[in-house]
């Protein structure tokens, strides 16, 4: 028996139809989001989601990588991180065969092939493949420059720009021309 949602329909990206009544029940609860964070007001459809969210405020990171000691606030984050040590990349793009450590990165990558840009800037309408790209772009409008050089206090809107700037202080020149090196010998 297929259960049907009469609340959200397909507006949330869910078809509105479920094979099991339990799945419909979970979906309906998520539409209502009755579990709210008393610190920031963000709400969730499930108590467990709220418990995990609260770790952002407490700083609790109960999951520890046995290889490097890095800590995580969700078990799944640790599971994905462990793949950096094992080299496991179980998600493969069907178009170009590039592999990924998690499904989200694969989905984002596939937009390169489809041309889909689901994230739009509310200020100028420019569209982006990923939310991170939109957040970086939005700093153009806000003037935010969260990356600061500890040597001269100059600030930057992107971490990569700070990395390049730091080379001015260190003298590092990581990119060399092989042709010039051969001629110097």
Q: What secondary structure does DSSP assign to 138-166, as a single string?
A: HHHHH----EE-TTT--EESSHHHHHHHH
User: For the segment 54-92, what is each residue's pLDDT rounded down to a tens digit?
Assistant: 999 999 999 999 999 999 999 999 999 999 999 999 999
Please give the model's pTM, rounded to 2 decimal places: 0.56
Q: Are 17 and 4 in contact (CB under 8 A)?
A: yes
CA 77 remoteness from chain centre: 11
- Domain of residue 139, residue span: 119-170
CA 89 remoteness from chain centre: 17
Q: Are residues 127 and 160 in the same domain?
A: yes
The pLDDT, as a whole number, for residue 57 is 93
User: For the segment 8-58, what is each residue's pLDDT rounded down to a tens digit?
Assistant: 443 344 456 777 777 777 776 666 788 889 998 888 888 999 999 999 999
User: For the segment 100-144, what is each residue's pLDDT rounded down to a tens digit?
Assistant: 999 989 999 999 999 999 999 999 999 999 899 999 999 999 999
Distance between CA atoms of 81 and 65, rounded to whole angstroms?
8
User: What six digits make up the tokens of 119?
Assistant: 């994230």
Q: What is the CATH number of the domain that holds 150?
A: 3.30.160.60
Residue 15 in domain: no
């Amino acid at each position: 028996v297929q259960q049907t949602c009469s609340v959200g329909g397909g507006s949330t990206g869910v078809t509105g139809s479920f094979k099991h009544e339990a799945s419909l029940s979970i979906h309906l609860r998520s539409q209502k989001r009755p579990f709210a964070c008393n610190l920031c007001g963000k709400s969730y459809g499930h108590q467990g989601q709220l418990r995990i969210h609260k770790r952002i405020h407490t700083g609790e990171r109960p999951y520890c990588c046995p290889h490097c000691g890095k800590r995580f606030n969700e078990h799944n984050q640790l599971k994905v991180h462990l793949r950096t040590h094992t080299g496991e990349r179980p998600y493969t793009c069907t178009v170009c065969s590039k592999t990924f450590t998690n499904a989200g990165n694969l989905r984002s990558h596939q937009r390169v092939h489809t041309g889909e840009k689901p994230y739009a800037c509310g200020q100028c309408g420019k569209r982006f493949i990923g939310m991170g790209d939109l957040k970086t772009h939005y700093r153009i409008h806000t003037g935010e420059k969260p990356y600061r050089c500890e040597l001269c206090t100059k600030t930057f809107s992107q971490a990569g720009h700070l990395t390049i700037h730091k080379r001015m202080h260190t003298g590092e020149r990581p990119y060399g021309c092989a042709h010039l090196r051969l001629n110097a010998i």
